[in-house]
Amino acid sequence: MDIFSIVLTLTTAGMIMLIMSTIDHAIYWPKRLSQNLPTPTWIEGLPYYSMLALSTSVFYYTSADHVITLWACVFGCITLLDKLYFFKTRLSHFPNMKASTYKQASQDSQFGQDYLNQTSPWIKLSHEFFVSTFVLWLLISFFVHPYRVPTGSLQPTIDPGDMLIAKKWSYGIRMPLSNHLIWSWNGQPKRGDIAIFSDPSTDSYRTLVKRVIGLPGDKISYIDKQLTINDQPVEVNSLGIEYNFDHAGQLETVIRKVESLPNKTHEIFVKPSANDKQVIDLVVPDGHYFMMGDNRDASSDSRYFGPVPFDKIGGQAWLIWMSIDPYSWKIRWDRIGINLT
């Protein structure tokens, strides 16, 4: 089963659970309220599992930022509505209970269980997760960005299935989702940085990760697999021939090389059998950066969609916190903790 089939299955399951929860609220929950009966355990779990399943679709088409924002908004709105209206309505059914907050009411030794029987599973879920979700939203929106690498465009530095964390503060503080710069300092991308950015070739929320090769004003050329920066050929030394899996899972022959940028040395893959599809010879515009993948013949980068505007760049790759082989689904323990700065 491919990843799209899994996402489609989970999304369908999430929609079914959401519909079941809605029907329960409309028909069966009022009956339980009138008799003060507890909500069955499996119905209590419907809000959580429906949100979890639907989030996979949001993550597949957008990013983790959007998932956390969705959870924070849903839980925040429900918690706010409960505090302003529903909490007081439930509390009116227990005139002898001394409580001013949801937590106090739910933990009341005499009426707590009866109070919870009067509380919607969605409200319970929101109170349970809102604070932690909001803190996580702040963390992901302004400080770090989790990203799962789906392709081998940055091999041999980053493998498919690597899950990395990017420092969002490296290049300034930005507005969540819109990526609008709020506060900037001298944190500009440096040549050799591995940066995450929004795909400049589309209005979608697809996030890409590539290496910064050209800075504003640089003259960049890439002809016959030779990278030249400001008329100076970048030194490249071969480490030998290797076999690597391509995006389709087929073995291919590549040459591992060491590339020495003006301020950073790193390894790249070059496929000897591949011809350059794009001949590049340009000057990077002001406020833009030229990005390339380390797997030179298996990367869609600035050779195809052009230099990337600074306002599209979301942060600098920091470290690999988890790595799962996309073919065997085994954890690659030796890759966890690799520093990418």
Average pLDDT of the residues of the chain: 88
Domain check: are 30 and 124 in the same one?
yes
**pLDDT computed for residue 287 by the predictor:** 92
Q: Do 265 and 322 reside in the same domain of the chain?
A: yes
Q: What is the pLDDT of residue 95?
A: 84
Picking from 101, 122, 142, the residue at the C-terminal end of a domain is 142
- In this predicted structure, what is the pLDDT of residue 185? 67
Instruction: Tell me if 162 sits within 8 A of 321, measured CB to CB.
Output: no
pLDDT at 203 > cutoff 80: no
CA dihedral 131, 136, 142, 145 (to 10 degrees): -170
Residues 152 and 55 placed together within one structural domain of the fold: no
Q: Residue 305: what are its φ and ψ, rounded to 5°?
A: -105, 5
Structural domain includes residue 100: yes
Are 76 and 109 contained in the same domain? yes
Is 341 within the bounds of a domain? no
Supply the pLDDT for residue 247.
Answer: 67
Of these residues, 124, 168, 210, 257, which one is catalytic? 210
Collapsing DSSP states into helix, strand and coil, what is residue 53? helix
Q: How many CA atoms lie within 13 A of 268 on its CB side?
A: 29
pLDDT tens-digit map of 35-49: 888 889 999 999 999
- In this structure, what DSSP letter does residue 310 have? G
Q: CA angle, 314 as apex, 338 and 303 as ends, to 5°?
A: 85
pLDDT digit string, tens, across residues 56-89: 888 777 777 788 888 999 999 999 999 999 998 8
Residues 108 and 123: beta-carbon distance below 8 Å = no
For residues 334 and 210, what is the distance between their CA atoms, to the nearest angstrom?
Answer: 22
Which one is predicted more confidently, 129 or 278?
129
Q: Is residue 79 part of a domain?
A: yes
Q: pLDDT tens digits for 303-335? A: 999 999 998 898 899 999 999 988 888 999 999
User: What distance lies between CA 297 and its chain's CA centroid?
Assistant: 26
Each residue of 236-270: pLDDT tens digit? 999 999 887 776 667 788 899 999 998 899 999 99
First to last CA, the chain: 35
Angle formed at CA 130 by CA 111 and CA 322, multiple of 5 degrees: 130
pLDDT value of residue 94: 85
Once rounded to an integer, what is the mean pLDDT over residues 118-126? 92
Query: How many percent of the chain have pLDDT more than 70?
Result: 97
Q: Is residue 340 part of a domain?
A: no
Q: Are 235 and 227 in contact (CB under 8 A)?
A: no
pLDDT at residue 248 in the model = 65
Does position 223 have pLDDT exceeding 70, yes or no? yes
What pLDDT, on a 0 to 100 scale, did the predictor assign at position 263? 86
User: What pLDDT, on a 0 to 100 scale, did the predictor assign at position 205?
Assistant: 66
Is residue 202 pLDDT above 80, yes or no? no
Helices 46-61 and 3-23: crossing angle in degrees, nearest 10, is 140
pLDDT at 151: 87
Any idea of the CA torsion for 206, 207, 211, 215, to the nearest 10 degrees? Answer: 80
Assess whether 241 and 94 both reside in one domain: no
Over residues 214-239, mean pLDDT: 94
State how far the Cα of 159 lies from the Cα of 246, in Å rounded to an integer.
Answer: 11
CA dihedral (254, 260, 261, 266) in degrees, to 10, reads: 60
From 101, 121, 142, give the residue that closes a domain: 142
pLDDT tier for residue 1 given thresholds of 50, 70 and 90? low
Q: How far is CA 271 from CA 102, 182, 278, in A?
A: 62, 42, 15
Whether residues 130 and 158 fall in one domain: no
Q: Is 153 noted as a catalytic residue in this protein?
A: yes
The pLDDT of residue 59 is 77
pLDDT at 186: 62
Please indicate whether residue 210 is annotated as part of the active site.
Answer: yes
pLDDT at 10: 87
Asked whether residue 118 falls in the same domain as residue 136, the answer is yes
Domain count, the chain: 2
State residue 61's pLDDT score: 75
Cα separation, 114 vs 95, in Å, equals 13
Read off the pLDDT band of 277 (50, 70, 90).
low
Of 55, 141, 153, 299, the active-site residue reads 153
Exposed / middle / buried, residue 226 (Cβ in 10 Å: 0-12, 13-18, 19+): exposed
Whether the predicted pLDDT of 175 surpasses 80: no
Residues 283 and 175 placed together within one structural domain of the fold: yes
Domain holding 106, by residue range, is 3-142
In a domain, 64, yes or no: yes
pLDDT of 252 reads: 83
Same-domain status, 124 and 163? no
Q: In the prediction, which pLDDT does 311 show?
A: 85
- Number of residues in the chain: 341
Q: Are 180 and 275 in contact (CB under 8 A)?
A: no
If asked whether residues 189 and 310 sit together in one domain, one would say: yes
Shared-domain flag, residues 233 and 298: yes
Residue 340, φ and ψ in degrees, nearest 5:
-105, 0
Cα separation, 300 vs 323, whole angstroms: 22
The per-residue pLDDT for 109 is 85
The domain boundary, picked from 142, 169, 193, lies at 142
Q: Burial level of 169, CB count in 10 A (0-12/13-18/19+)?
A: middle
- What's the CATH code of the domain at 322? 2.10.109.10
The answer to whether residue 279 scores a pLDDT higher than 90 is no
Q: Clarify whether residues 186 and 241 are in a common domain.
A: yes
Residue 183 structure tokens: 């506060």
Report the C-alpha gap between 274 and 297 in whole angstroms. 7
pLDDT at position 173 is 81
